[in-house]
Amino acid sequence: LSNQSKEAFIDWARYDDSQDHFCELDDERSPDAQYVDLLLNPERYTGYKGPSAWRVWNSIYEENCFKPRSVYRPLNPLAPSRGGDDGESFYTWLEGLCLEKRVFYKLISGLHASINLHLCANYLLEETWGKPRWGPNVKEFTRRFDPIETKGEGPRRLKNLYFLYLIELRALSKVAPYFERSVVDLYTGNGHEDAESKALLLDIFRDTKSFHMHFDEKSMFAGDKKGAKSLKEEFRLHFKNISRIMDCVGCDKCRLWGKLQTQGLGTALKILFSEKEIQSLPENSPSKGFQLTRQEIVALVNAFGRLSTSIRELQNFKVLLQQTR
């Protein structure tokens, strides 16, 4: 490496360490860190369910969605209702929140729906000796998303899934200028693969720009500067707490994909709230004002890939449901 490159790396590392990340970034130098090939460990049903799994999601909703404990959140569609409350009080309360807090809830709900869809679409249907059979489980999909089975909750979850998809799509289109600069190299040690990977990534960005119905984040945190800054910081801290809660997931594969998708969403939010910094980046010198780590780039792309898969699998389930009627 040239002395200039070494100085640049030190500068990048110093900048990364000083940033207010939206997620807890695992330390790659930690003795407990593990490298995982995502292609060899696909996200699918693992059997991790029941009270332990519900405690994780309940903690995420209860601690982070700006919700007072007095308001019932009908998270589990199979849970008994509390008195005469059918869960509508939650949505009455939610509509009274500011735009930013409603958006936060919808993002978490959309993430939850997306993960549930993956599990339903790649379910262990039959465990024969040495040859397990995986595929879509219509019954499980119905249990989690059918309007009647979920007391009207399922369709809301799916709407939030589409909302989350639009948010991350918007982030990809916004971050394009960062990667379009010649100074940005997706370094792997193989020059040919680096160039090919960057070309593929830029193709994705071009596709996202051709779709104009993105979420417009300009209306968020647009109030008085002091209040907006305080709310944005609260937003960030809630999101960091969610990534910590994901560490409590007892299933290794579930924790892996849960944290990856959480970090991908956190990276998307970081991008959307850094538009000015991205636009003012220098063309031929190290990034100052905005920087993405390798970990954030991997999470961003894979999280969007998971959401895209969710949308596709949802269409597949619609076809399967029509065939079973």
Separation in Å, CA 41 to CA 34, 49, 314: 13, 19, 22
Q: Is 112 annotated as a binding residue?
A: yes
Flag whether 79 is in a domain. Answer: no
Q: Is 44 annotated as a binding residue?
A: yes
State phi, psi for 70 to the nearest 5 degrees.
-75, -15
What is the Cα–Cα distance from 64 to 69, expressed in whole angstroms?
11
Flag whether 121 is in a domain. Answer: yes
Whether 306 contacts 171, CB under 8 Å: no
What integer pLDDT is reported at residue 191 of this predicted model? 82
Phi-psi region of 133 (alpha: psi -120 to 50; beta: other; left: phi over 0): beta
Establish whether 65 is a catalytic residue.
no
Give the predicted TM-score (pTM) of the model.
Answer: 0.82
| Residues paired with 133 in a beta bridge | 126
Per the residue annotation, which of 23, 65, 120, 254 is the catalytic one? 254
Q: Is 244 annotated as a binding residue?
A: no
What integer pLDDT is reported at residue 289 of this predicted model? 74
Q: Where are the alpha helices (DSSP H) in the chain?
A: 3-18, 51-64, 88-95, 99-121, 138-145, 153-180, 191-209, 225-245, 252-272, 275-279, 294-324
Establish whether 120 is a catalytic residue.
no
Q: Is 118 annotated as a binding residue?
A: no
Whether 110 contacts 125, CB under 8 Å: no
Flag whether 176 is in a domain. Answer: yes
Flag whether 141 is in a domain. Answer: yes
Q: Is 287 annotated as a binding residue?
A: no
What integer pLDDT is reported at residue 316 of this predicted model? 94
Give how many domains the chain has, as a whole number.
1
Flag whether 154 is in a domain. Answer: yes
Flag whether 8 is in a domain. Answer: no
- Maximal C-alpha separation, the chain: 70
Range of the domain at 121: 47-67+87-324
pLDDT tens per residue across span 175-219: 988 998 888 877 777 788 888 999 999 999 888 888 877 677 777
3-state secondary structure of 66: coil
Residues of the chain under the 50 pLDDT cut: 76-80, 83
Give the DSSP letter string of 170-186: HHHHHHHHHHHSTT---
Structure token pair of residue 312: 């596709």
Helix (H) or strand (E) holding 131: strand 131-135
Flag whether 91 is in a domain. Answer: yes
